[in-house]
Amino acid sequence: MWSSLKAYSVPSISYDKITEKEVNRRVIMKISIIGAGKMGTAIIKGLINNGQNPKQILVKTGHYENALNLRQSLGITAVQALSDLATSDIYILATPATLITKTLSELSNINQQNAPIISVAAGVSFDEMLAIYPNAPLLRCIPNTPVAINQGMTSFSTSSHLSDNQKTLAINLLNQLGHTIEVPEDKLGIAGTIAGCSPAFIDVFIEALSDAAVTNGLDRALSYEIITEMMKGSAALAAESKIHPGILKDDVTSPGGDTIKGVVALEKNNFRFAVIDAINTILQD
Ligand SMILES: NC(=O)C1=CN([C@@H]2O[C@H](COP(=O)(O)OP(=O)(O)OC[C@H]3O[C@@H](n4cnc5c(N)ncnc54)[C@H](O)[C@@H]3O)[C@@H](O)[C@H]2O)C=CC1
Ligand SMILES: O=C(O)[C@@H]1CCC=N1
């Protein structure tokens, strides 16, 4: 059922449907999440959805009440102080970027097991973090909100202070959330932007297509179903066939037909440039 502006929820796991492969991928380690807003919560949902025991997910939020609410809804373990996370196997920093260095400074005093630290903060470099916590076993990544349903696209970079075992542990965790790609740190900004920010552009596009559908008399919920199925299929066709998008577009545009008229109208309205400009504007920041 399509809801307009309501929070989504991830369906709970049906254990009888879990395959052997999934069982093997299930993790039992203690995961600490520091900051559980939109991204932290999406990661928690993805991990639980993949079979992680929620009690083994320790969550520290800015306001303890938020962690308690997550305990109520997702069954995680809420903690009050960073010092409660001393024996974690892995840390995920998902606070606003402005709080990352302060959090790392505190973490440097409590990370008893020298556990790997994953930062999801956009724009906070290894140099900035290592200046605060020298030799920290860091992995930087930019996930996107579909990690909540294990269909995320996460780009990541690793610091030289991450051992092979620490790297494996961290990447195994990210792999539970969907597709992952390692990139050099100087490419993390652009890779993270096109995957991390663009879900919002896609959502605006879905909304706009739906508005057009409703303008032309189609039921709102039906339009969302048609649009999202169309997007899934189009993305899958491009991903699986690896055919150039220009050729896939040509396949849809029948000579003298409807689609080319729509494509021309998009070009008239600078559709391509609007998209390129959106990404460039983000990166200019
Ligand atoms: N939202 C997204 O799609 C993506 C977000 N990110 C990154 O994730 C991070 C968080 O972004 P959002 O979740 O969107 O923001 P948000 O504002 O929803 O979440 C931030 C959370 O940090 C918590 N927090 C504040 N002070 C804290 C403290 N002292 N200790 C622990 N938690 C504290 C806040 O209560 C809040 O829940 C940012 O660094 C952002 O760059 C990265 C990729 C995608
Ligand atoms: O808007 C932001 O800053 C974060 C980073 C990527 C997606 N959301």
Shortest-distance ligand to the CA of residue 197:
2
SS3 state at 179? strand
Ligand 2, atom 3, residue with closest C-alpha: 122
pLDDT, tens digit, 9 for 90 and up, residues 107-128:
999 998 899 999 999 999 999 9
Separation CA 285–CA 268 (nearest Å): 28
Q: Which domain holds residue 55?
A: 15-185
Asked if the structure places residue 39 within a domain, the reply is yes
Cα distances (Å, whole numbers) of residue 20 to 5, 24, 50, 65: 37, 6, 13, 37
Distance of alpha carbon 180 from alpha carbon 167, whole angstroms: 13
Domain end among 158, 185, 212: 185
Shared-domain flag, residues 121 and 235: no
Q: What is the pLDDT of residues 125-155, one digit of tens each?
A: 999 999 999 999 999 999 999 999 999 999 9
Would you say residue 190 lies in a domain? no
- If asked whether residues 110 and 229 sit together in one domain, one would say no
Cα(17) to centroid(ligand 1), Å: 33
Tokens (6 digits) for 217: 């008399």
- Examine the domain organization and report whether 164 and 49 are in the same domain: yes
**Which residues' Cβ are closer than 6 Å to ligand 2?**
122, 142, 196-197
Average pLDDT over residues 33-55: 97
Are the beta carbons of 158 and 148 closer than 8 angstroms? Answer: no
- C-alpha span between 130 and 119 (Å, rounded): 12
Quote ipTM for the complex: 0.98
Distance CA 152, CA 155 (A): 10
